[in-house]
Structure 1
Amino acid sequence: MQPDVIVVGGGIIGASCAVSLQQAGMRTLLIEAAQPGCGITAAGMGHLVALDESVQELDLCLFSLKLWRDWVDQHPGIGQVVQTGTLWVAENDAQLIEAQQRAERLNQRQWQAEVIRPEDLSQLEPALRQGLAGAVRVTGDSVVYPPVIAYRMAHDLVQLGGQLLCGQRVNSLRQGSGSSVSVMLDDDRQFSAQHVVVAAGLGTTTLLPEIPVFPRKGHLAITDRYPGRLRHQIVSMDYGQHNMTEDGLSVAANVQPRATGQWLIGSSRQDGQSDTQVSPVAIGAVLQSAIRLLPCLATMHVIRSWAGMRPASPDGQPMIGAHPHRPGVWIATGHEGLGVTTALATADMLTSQLLGKTTAIDAAPYTPSRFFNGVTGR
């Protein structure tokens, strides 16, 4: 089958885009260098959460969360989905004011959030330390296991009549005859289509060096099984504030109860790193931040820690849309820590743009052309 569109990258972003395009009537080929969901998707935390560092970010999150509700209903039992909700924990009065403002913003958008008094926190989550200023509880947030979801999406693509090619890396793109674009594989095979969607995360720069996506390193750890000891995802109000140390390390507690009974512990951000080796300093800071909120973690058994590289963009927003100077090439990358949350919205928006339809939300903040000047360059 000659594809209408080729999607490069089988993480949760690429797999979502491939399914969306196939459902829209485009004959779609998804090419993944290894197996769907085993790259960046497998290294992250896996939360479905409404973040509101900007109006645009909240728009994208809320649109995607609505789509995720439908996906979960249609795929029961897939991806260890647990609607834990999120407790945004305030350690002082200033953070509590910020938390209350977050609750107001979310409630204005019909995403339920409630302010929790300090005296009620111990009833809601006994593992939290005493002396906290309060919290905001966002009930609609969930945690998921992304690799399984991406794998299932790739399977759905095939069931819908699309094609999946695994174990082959795309090493270059070429403008073909007419309006077609060709992808060249490591085994010297070549595939052509009218459209190519590059959803390869940090691998985007190998194919498109002009796209300004860069690595932002993060560390995670996971405990042994302690079922029933944590009900909510616990996140410090420091999360997303980028309070960095001299070596560029930013840490804020984010602890998830997994369906297995394990606790997944994060998180950190660090630029200027080139490998995924675990840094004792970074993972130590992550654990200390989490223990400050959940003291019982100090006595729990951590069985593994790891590091990964998030694909980030210069302005903190993903790139979703047409390449401004390469006809037929489309971009879906730069989601950093919100790739899982915003995957379905990304797929919907990119499909609409590719088909020349109006997007459900404003696509302008995400267009790749915002990083380009003039006719040919960035």
Structure 2
Amino acid sequence: MKVVVVGAGIVGAACAFHAASAGLDVTVVDRGPVGAGTTGRGEGNVLLSDKEPGPELDLARLSRVLWDEAGEELGPDTLELEAKGGLVVAGTPRALTALRAFAARQTAAGVRAEAVDRVVALEPHLAPGLPGGVHYPQDAQVQPVLAAVALLRAAVRHGARTRTGEVLAGTTGRDGRITGVRTADGTVLPADAVVNAAGTWGGEVGRRLGAPLEILPRRGFVLVTEPLPPMVRHKVYSADYVANVASDGAGLETSCVVEGTRGGTILIGASRERVGFDTTMNPAVVTALAAGACRLFPFLRDVHLIRAYRGFRPYCPDHLPVVGPDPRVPGVLHACGHEGAGVGLAPATGALVTAHLLGRSWRGADPAAHPGLLPDRLLTTGGVPA
């Protein structure tokens, strides 16, 4: 089976890796370098802690196992895979009650979540007086561009090919089934299946393939400090982060997220706003993120920022990714719309897409087991334009 994967970000690389490892004939096409879109603008989160029980958490739990397996196969240093764990902290007793109720639901779904009364025992540099939190030992981090490159190189070792070019349209046969894609230079890449892994541009690529999706850009900023000695041990974020992730608001929302990197810098987020593809630097967002981080970790008041970067999360209206075959165009599969969770969910997405392509269950990745992710859910709820 010939498979064309459109998109060389972390999700496209994972799809190519799993499909090529299964013996499929894979070509990955992207108009830019590996990881040049949303992947290169993210923090590399591999999180269970921020997901409600349901299909996304199921995908995250499978991905967490597959990230460990990828680390064993490719070498953890090639991914900068760190099983650092996450610490979610509450600022008030009321927030702590809500956080622990949320954690109890996750525990019932198979997530390891440990109540913590003295959060400074895990993070000594936290502000004093915080009432408590929840520790998630399964949370991890990778360096997203390195991870995408490593997965794609492994796919190439299994026979996959890569090429640079913009996909302008799909080609179809008389029965309406996809037969390939046409790129901007006029090349037609033949395919029995085409995987739309175009991230924030997944809606537009879907339209070009005859299967449009409503995927919107949601801008976010990340601040980077000067390199420091190890000061932050876990991914640490405030309890309101989960609510902001699930919000439908178009306006600016910020919540405090702080974590260290292997290189010694500290990453500070997170902001969300729907402003189209506007890349304008907004000093007010930088100020809000820095202030929130200093409240959580007072030592940051004396630390220099060296840069701020921004990117666009591929946002779906119901906050779930679109993974699987499109009923409108046989042979088209989607693997996009992951919002800010693409890095964490990439391996399981690749496994599910491969299972669909092979027409069978793959090591627990059953194509029929995640109907909440399939494109037809959006057809029935109005998420896909007619």
Q: Aligned partner of 2:240: which letter?
A: D
TM (norm. structure 2) is 0.91
Where do 1:52-201 residues align within 5 Å? Answer: 52-76=51-75, 77-117=77-117, 120-165=118-163, 167-176=164-173, 179-201=177-199
- Which 4+ residue blocks in structure 1 deviate beyond 3 angstroms? 105-111, 176-180, 243-247
Q: How does 1:233-312 map to 2 (within 5 A)?
A: 233-242=235-244, 248-312=251-315
Q: Secondary structure at the match of 1:202?
A: helix
Q: Is the 8 A contact 1:4 1:28 kept in 2?
A: yes
What's the CA shift for 1:106?
3.8
**CA deviation profile, 1:84-137 (whole Å, cap 9, x unmatched):** 1111001011221122224323433443221111xx322321211011111111
> Which stretch has the larger CA shift, 71-80 or 223-232?
71-80
Shift of 1:256: 1.2
Distance 1:128 1:199, change over 3 A: same
Partner of 2:353: 350
- Alpha-carbon separation, structure 2, partners of 1:160 and 1:74: 13
Query: How far is 1:300 from its partner?
Result: 0.7
- Asked whether 1:34 is paired with 2:32, we answer yes
| C-alpha contact (below 8 Å) 2:216/2:314 kept by paired residues | yes
Residues 377 and 82 (structure 1), Cα distance of their counterparts in 2 relative to 1, 3 Å cut: closer
Provide closer, same or farther for how the CA distance between residues 113 and 247 of structure 1 changes in structure 2, counting only shifts above 3 A: closer
**1:331 matched to 2:334:** yes
C-alpha deviation, 1:158, in angstroms? 1.0
SS in 1 for 2:125: coil
What percent identity do the matched residue pairs reach? 31
Given the superposition, is the C-alpha separation of residues 338 and 377 from structure 1 closer, same or farther in structure 2, using an over 3 Å criterion? closer
The gaps in structure 2 that reach 5 residues or longer are none
Across the aligned residues of Structure 1 and Structure 2, the Cα RMSD in angstroms comes to 2.1
Give SS of 1:225's match.
coil
* Structure-1 separation of matches of 2:305 and 2:173: 52
| Distance in structure 1 (CA, Å) of the matches to 2:95 and 2:300 | 23
Deviation of 1:68 after TM superposition, in Å, equals 1.1
The CA distance in 2 between the partners of 1:60 and 1:275, in whole Å, is 31
Maintained 8 Å contact 1:277/1:307: no
What is the TM-score of this pair, normalised by structure 1? 0.93
CA gap of 1:246–1:137, structure 2 versus 1, over 3 A, is closer
Q: Is residue 372 from structure 1 mapped to residue 370 from structure 2 by the alignment?
A: no
Q: What residue is the counterpart of 1:15 in the other structure?
A: 13
What per-residue deviation string (whole Å, max 9, x for no partner) do you get for residues 286-309 of structure 1? Answer: 222222211111211110101111
Residue 360 (structure 1) aligns with: 365
Partners of 1:228 and 1:371 lie apart in 2 by 44
Hey, what does 1:229 align to over in structure 2?
231
Count of aligned residue pairs for this structure pair: 372
Write the deviation string for residues 196-233 of structure 1: whole angstroms up to 9, x where unpaired: 10100122232323211111111111111112111111
Q: 1:113 to 1:11 in 2, by over 3 A?
A: same
CA distance in 2, matches of 1:102, 1:96: 10
- Give the match's secondary structure for 2:243: coil
SS at match of 2:127: coil
* SS state at 2:354 partner: helix
Give 3-state SS (helix, strand or coil) of 2:220's partner.
Answer: strand
Counterparts in 2 of 1:377 and 1:265: CA distance versus 1, 3 Å:
closer
